[in-house]
Amino acid sequence: MFKAKVKAEVIKNIIDIASPLVTEAKFNITPKGISLRAVDPAHVAMVDVDVKASSFEEYKADEMEMGIDLDKLGGIMKLANANDTVSLEYDEDTNKLIIRIGNLVRKMGLLDTAGMPDPKIPNLNLPAKITIKASELFQGVRASEAVSDHISLTATKDSFELFAEGDTDVVNLKLPKDLLLELNTPEKCRSLFSIDYFSNMVKPVKGEEPITMHLGNDNPIKLEFDFTEKNGHAVYLLAPRIESE
Amino acid sequence: MFKAKVKAEVIKNIIDIASPLVTEAKFNITPKGISLRAVDPAHVAMVDVDVKASSFEEYKADEMEMGIDLDKLGGIMKLANANDTVSLEYDEDTNKLIIRIGNLVRKMGLLDTAGMPDPKIPNLNLPAKITIKASELFQGVRASEAVSDHISLTATKDSFELFAEGDTDVVNLKLPKDLLLELNTPEKCRSLFSIDYFSNMVKPVKGEEPITMHLGNDNPIKLEFDFTEKNGHAVYLLAPRIESE
Amino acid sequence: MFKAKVKAEVIKNIIDIASPLVTEAKFNITPKGISLRAVDPAHVAMVDVDVKASSFEEYKADEMEMGIDLDKLGGIMKLANANDTVSLEYDEDTNKLIIRIGNLVRKMGLLDTAGMPDPKIPNLNLPAKITIKASELFQGVRASEAVSDHISLTATKDSFELFAEGDTDVVNLKLPKDLLLELNTPEKCRSLFSIDYFSNMVKPVKGEEPITMHLGNDNPIKLEFDFTEKNGHAVYLLAPRIESE
């Protein structure tokens, strides 16, 4: 059983966060809320999104799974404005999700979740924690895209640094501790990442909202942020690139 | 003779209404106003637009015809803002339409109207009449486009219903009488239509403006609406699709 | 040595003005300001842009040259809002331009200026001078693009006229002296130009800003305008088209 009412924006957020990595996903429904965990086809990145029942205007659910085509659900959400309330209901008899937007009733066929994996979040040793405004990070990422296909992130006790280098051009965003929302690391940490992937993980976060990064040495990065007035939480993991030199 | 001044918006409206069906059209000019009637190349749909002389700031005309390339006239209207007054004058000597926008003079060659038909509006028995806000109808149409290439419209004494069904997905917009501006039918009427055509006929109507549909059983639909403060009137006819089952 | 601070908008202006003609250009730096002079690959048009040191918030420079990839510099300027201050500094050791936008540091490799010509502005006898609002001229140019690939410009003692003629269509913008900001000519002057080139030269000038044209008989046109509160000045020269009739 699953029956809920929610602002279209919340569903749009979930889709914006997951769709850079996967086109289909398994939504895990519990009485406490909805979550989704998926790995991209190249096994380079993982996304874990969690929206609490308190994000919903109404919410009633047993434990269940729904296999969802994210493009299709995204298209349906475009029929609503961000602030419109949409109603969602699982129809057991037909295995469809019934979506109501205003007077419109949209029944969406669900995908078989049998083949969809349940990725485990690996245990990682990521000693550095950096919290930064999304807009600041995004400017550095955008600048880097024009210069290289990978980017290094470095945290020291005093600063966080983003660095990308091409044949002739260089991008460097070095932020001292007092320009960051938080910086905490017992040692210098540095890892290298694909800009394409990293850029997709920063884009869903709007303007001045904070993003928190957990960084290690030649280790994956864990990037997390809240949404929907902190009732939604997203975590990305991204594998490091091995430096060829 | 034809000489007139009018807000660019009125001409833009005529083009927006006719151009989904035809790229060239014959404008029928009379002392009472301008009208245009055309059938699409596949003979599935007809458009009939009529703009009264009272829509114009100045209007002087004898009976005549002008063959117009709608794309070209549309491009010329883009040189004006919606609220700019444009002046139109037929030049008999050169068989051109002289369009003045501000200080700009644009002489547009006219097309030979000899080959352009004068389609007759067929007599139709369409007992159901439904009037609905354009935005409500458009949402149903947009939702249906993602699901199927045809849609059924049904009117009963109590409600109007739009329905589209794909392999796994369904769209249903059912409006009880009190959510419609008007609903009047002596019996249940239901016909099936191509979504592409139907969508093009709804798009020219803005936001909350009313659209009136006349519906029969496996019969064409007649869809009509006013524009330019009710001095313009448009009628579309669309042939039904035959149900294959 | 070159070190300066300036609103991003000023650099964006220089790029918008030069990039329709060339993708790479030599910036000539002097203590008085920055200038750029370039000829398009077909040798049909020349651009000469000049920005005084007074346009800059800070400015310190010796005489020097910088070879710049305009696309790349344009992309970097997109990282800043028009009103953001960017800082520019030439790094002699690496032959790079260091651009600072907020906390971001972007080092851009420079091009070898050895092969880049120093075009001379030819001496021209252009007796007619016409000053016109950019929006008025641009409307005439846009209308002409749909009709022909060349336009004639004519100045008499009483009026300025833009004229384009296609197989069936005509564009005519005739402005009497009192609708122009300035009109001064001892005789009738008329020349024919490529619309593509001419359009590109008018586009960088915004809305109601004045453009001054110097016109002769079957001679190039010199088109000039100020920008950045008159601290920047741009000149275009465009060769005439020979009339085939």
Interior angle at CA A222, CA A217 and CA A226, nearest 5: 150
pLDDT tens digit sequence for B69-119: 999 999 999 999 999 999 999 999 999 999 999 999 999 999 999 989 899
A112 in contact with chain B, both atoms CB, cutoff 8 A: no
Residue C48 above 90 pLDDT? yes
Of chain A residues 58-77, which have a CB less than 8 A from chain B?
72, 75-76
C52 in contact with chain B, both atoms CB, cutoff 8 A: no
Q: Residue C208 corresponds to which tokens in the numbers above?
A: 């109601």
| Secondary structure of residue A34 in the 3-state scheme | strand
A169 in contact with chain C, both atoms CB, cutoff 8 A: yes
Residues of C in contact with A167 (CB under 8 A): 109
Chains that touch A (3 or more CB pairs under 8 A): B, C
| Cβ-based neighbours of B24, under 8 Å, separated by 6 or more | B67, B68, B69, B70, B111, B116
Q: Mind spelling out the 3-state secondary structure of C194-224?
A: EHHHHHHHHCCCCCCCEEEEEECCCCCEEEE
Summarize the confidence of residues C131-149 as an average pLDDT.
96
Task: State the pLDDT confidence band at A206, using cuts at 50, 70 and 90.
Answer: confident
User: A135 to chain B nearest CA, in Å?
Assistant: 34
Q: Which of C144, C126, C155 is nearest to C223 (CA)?
A: C126
Q: Residue A56 corresponds to which tokens in the numbers above?
A: 């919903």
Indicate yes or no: CB of A103 within 8 angstroms of CB of B167: no
Task: State the pLDDT confidence band at A115, using cuts at 50, 70 and 90.
Answer: confident
Residue A245 above 70 pLDDT? no
Provide the Cα torsion C197, C198, C203, C207; round to 10°: 180
For residue B221, the cross-strand partners are B238
Residues of C in contact with B103 (CB under 8 A): 136, 173-175, 179
Interior angle at CA C127, CA C121 and CA C131, nearest 5: 85
Low-confidence ranges of chain B (pLDDT < 50): none
- Which residue has tokens 């965003």? A173
pLDDT tens digit sequence for A63-100: 999 999 999 999 999 999 999 999 999 999 999 999 99
CB A38 within 8 A of CB A22: yes
Residue C59's pLDDT is what? 98
Q: Compute CA distances A37 → A59, A126, B42, C32, whole Å.
A: 21, 20, 49, 60
ipTM of the complex: 0.91
B84 in contact with chain C, both atoms CB, cutoff 8 A: no
Q: Residue A203 corresponds to which tokens in the numbers above?
A: 């884009």
Residue C223 above 70 pLDDT? yes
Structure-model confidence comparison of residues A244 and A77, the more confident one: A77
Strand extents, DSSP E, C53-103: 58-61, 64-69, 85-91, 96-101
Could you give the CA distance from residue B28 to residue B22 in angstroms, rounded to a whole number? 16
CB C204 within 8 A of CB C12: no
For residue C237, the cross-strand partners are C46, C222
C45-52/C221-227 β-pairing? unpaired
pLDDT tens digit sequence for A118-175: 999 999 999 999 999 999 999 999 999 999 999 999 999 999 999 999 999 999 999 9
Could you give the CA distance from residue C222 to residue C209 in angstroms, rounded to a whole number? 17
pLDDT tens digit sequence for C142-200: 999 999 999 999 999 999 999 999 999 999 999 999 999 999 999 999 999 999 999 99
Give the neighbor-by-neighbor strand order of the sheet with B2-7.
B58-61, B2-7, B85-91, B96-101, B104-109, C170-176, C159-165, C150-155, C189-194
pLDDT tens digit sequence for C226-238: 999 889 999 999 9
Residue A102 above 80 pLDDT? yes
Could you give the CA distance from residue A108 to residue A97 in angstroms, rounded to a whole number? 5
Q: Which of A147, A144, A156, A135 is nearest to A217 (CA)?
A: A156
Q: Residue A167 corresponds to which tokens in the numbers above?
A: 């044949």
Q: Specify the pTM.
A: 0.92
| Secondary structure of residue B12 in the 3-state scheme | helix
Q: Compute CA distances B31 → B3, B25, B40, whole Å.
A: 11, 19, 27
Task: State the pLDDT confidence band at A36, using cuts at 50, 70 and 90.
Answer: very high
CB C104 within 8 A of CB A143: yes
Nearest CA in chain C to B75: C146
C91 in contact with chain A, both atoms CB, cutoff 8 A: no
Q: Which of B218, B135, B210 is nearest to B173 (CA)?
A: B135
Domains and CATH numbers, chain A: 2-109 (3.10.150.10), 128-238 (3.70.10.10)
Measured in residues, chain C has a length of: 245
Residue A244's pLDDT is what? 63
Alpha helices in B19-158 (DSSP H): 70-77, 134-145
% pLDDT > 70, chain A? 99
CB B68 within 8 A of CB B27: yes
Cα atoms in the Cβ-side hemisphere of radius 13 Å centred on A51: 24
